[in-house]
Structure 1
């Protein structure tokens, strides 16, 4: 290595160091992020909330990034007794966001820590509110009016549900959810969190009570099904009776018309026979006699008749005429 290469190499090393230092001092935040600068484990300065290009001291400072968007929280269903000692399963959900990343980092570190604190706070508030509220206030809104159709439908599932419907609502479910939100939201600023909203997703009876309700509903539905089946069978019998009656009327009318047609045909035949007999009585008698021979004399029939029998008169006359011709 000669003396001319030393400045070049030194300059190259310096350039590389500058590039590395510049890269280590630049960071970029997008619109969904906010950050806290940490130097040797301790936060310095104010949180960075504006998106874009930012600078920090390289190597000794690091960037802790936090989400600015709304984050969902889903709690596990809890079995909670109401003020009336009815055990119900309550499933809640909430939405929250980080509004003070510095406090958030100092108190809960990250989203996993925040979720654990939310589980404690929200589950505790929900349990306290539910256990001090009657069931009717939990499942009904204050402005909900009971219709006759609703009452008739709920009567099918048992007297307990009917009693719940008939109770007067003082606050209702909306006010209950609002009170849960207000109490839980008041504890969020100390965590650097804003609670956006909270909802009760589902309310069910616990398994033991639920099974009894289902059994009662099944029995009632079976009773209704039997009633419908009985009404259907009665209607089917009525339709079958109407069908048979209509069929009998149709058959009777058809038989009447057939008898009328048959009588008219017989009358017409008699008229034709009468006309034929009147035109040539002798020929008519001859034709009728010939038609009777195949019906009365078979291949194995034996008749003993006199020569002057009227039955063979035409045959005898034909034989006589034939002899005279010969």
Structure 2
């Protein structure tokens, strides 16, 4: 009897342990029994909150999933605007599981698979929206409206049949919206959608930069030409002012020199009339000094001329 008691205890403990499972904080679990998710009396999936729970050992299988908000940081994708120009949009989506049973049936509980499907839905919705806008509208006031249309869908009442058909071809869920489509197909709730960055392809960026450089160079050339014109005007005005000042100064100098010469002549005349003999003697001495100052000079003059009269006679007679 004692020999059977120990194995029985071990079996009971093993059965008890296999019937228990724990759900961690931030997780939710459901039980699969005979290949189907366990449901309650209202035919709803039984969802287990964090804590200790029990199941049928060796029959039930527990599936545990992360119930927290997930981030799908989408890779940048290329879209075509209504102008037939390419733009590269980098976005991200915040989402969480709303219906765990539907999520499991749609993806097998594979989060990577869920994000791939969600990425396709997002890309289709953005493509349908971007295809009807210009680049200016995308990067300015229409961007928030684009995100809202992607999340909540488009109201078809204001569209023509042709526009509706085009929208549906680009995205079958265009009128449903990403939120409703993701909830219906994957059992997940899209919490938020944001665009991180909107870029142009490298070749378009280069052409834009070239055009911007050409525009800046044109503006710079205009400013340089304007500056050169102003500089020439300032230089011309300064030259005119200098010429005017110089002319006035030369005129004043000539007037002063003329007045000085007249005063000097008057003084000389007065001095000459006071003593004629002395003045003639002084002028002769000055002439001798100027003539004989350079020893290399040679004068050929008649000795009887008046030039030498004061050399012959101190009285000059």
Q: Unaligned stretches of 5+ in structure 2?
A: 1-16, 39-45, 153-176
Question: Does 2:265 align with 1:266?
Answer: no
Q: How does 1:1-326 map to 2 (within 5 A)?
A: 34-36=26-28, 46-48=48-50, 66=66, 68=68, 71=71, 73-80=73-80, 82=82, 86-98=84-96, 100=98, 102=100, 106=104, 107=107, 109=109, 112-131=112-131, 133-135=132-134, 138-139=137-138, 173-182=143-152, 183-189=177-183, 190-199=186-195, 201-202=197-198, 204=200, 234-278=229-273, 280-297=275-292, 298-300=294-296, 301-306=298-303, 309-318=305-314
| Residue 259 of structure 1: how far off its partner (Å) | 1.5
Name the CA shift for 1:28/1:210 in 2 (closer, same or farther; >3 Å). Answer: closer
Q: Unaligned stretches of 5+ in structure 1?
A: 1-20, 49-53, 145-171, 321-326
Summarize deviations over 1:123-152 as a string: whole Å, max 9, x none: 011112333x253894487xx7xxxxxxxx
| Residue 186 of structure 1: how far off its partner (Å) | 1.6
Q: Is the 8 A contact 2:96 2:188 kept in 1?
A: yes
Q: Which residue of structure 1 lines up, in the alignment, with residue 172 of structure 2?
A: none
Distance 1:123 1:249 in 2: 78
TM-score scaled by length of structure 1: 0.56
TM-score scaled by length of structure 2: 0.57
How many pairs align?
252
SS of residue paired to 2:76: coil
